[in-house]
Amino acid sequence: MIRNLLKIGLLLIVAILVYNRFFGTTEEQKQAKGIFKSVGNVFVEVGQLVSAEKDKFDAGKYDGVLDKLGGAYRAIREQAENVDGKIIKRLDELERRKAALQTELDSIESIDQQIQSAPAAPKKGIKADPKAEQNQAAKTADQQRRKAELQRQLEQLIKDSDALIKQAQEE
């Protein structure tokens, strides 16, 4: 219900802007033109942000963090005889979360490779398949969502790991 109202509201705003751009007074035309230019700039900025984040991801931004966490977990486990049983249980849980994140990272990288190896745009004179373009855009958007969620989970895992390390050092 709310989604439909938002869609209708957005469609109404776009319709008003288009009407003002072509049939409005001079002032309304300038205003609509400025709004379209601003929206275009927002899309350009978002595109640059996504591209920069993709480059960081491709450069292995997350691989190093997961490796460092693994090293910290091994160090804690080596000191296991001096550590409370609760800490060992928390360590096991953190290692399971790390393994799940590693699996998710591998999956994301695999799908990224599939997207990159997908056929490029059709040659000149051949119409592009709109459904294929929509599927490609949907896959790319889903990948960005998955990367953002992976980063959020990784940051939480790091916080939880820091807390565990501090607790292990105190005991």
Ranges in the chain, pLDDT < 70: 57-63, 79-84, 118-129, 169-171
Q: What is the pLDDT of residue 157?
A: 85
Q: What is the pLDDT of residue 52?
A: 77
> Taking the CB of residue 24, how many other CB atoms lie within 10 A of it?
16
Spatial distance between the Cα atoms of 38 and 18, rounded to a whole number of angstroms: 15
Sign of the dihedral through C-alpha 116, 53, 61, 91: negative
Q: What is the pLDDT of residue 128?
A: 62
Q: What is the pLDDT of residue 80?
A: 59
The answer to whether the beta carbons of residues 87 and 171 sit under 8 Å apart is yes
Q: What is the pLDDT of residue 116?
A: 75
Q: What is the pLDDT of residue 65?
A: 73
Nearest CA to 166 out of 85, 76, 81 is that of 76
Contacts of 73 (CB under 8 A, 6+ apart): 91, 94, 95, 98, 161
Q: What is the pLDDT of residue 127?
A: 62
Q: What is the pLDDT of residue 164?
A: 79
Q: What is the pLDDT of residue 121?
A: 54
118-127 confidence digits (pLDDT tens)? 665 555 556 6
The answer to whether the beta carbons of residues 143 and 109 sit under 8 Å apart is no
Helical ranges in the chain per DSSP H: 2-23, 26-58, 61-78, 85-116, 130-170
Look-up of token digits 């994140």 = 101
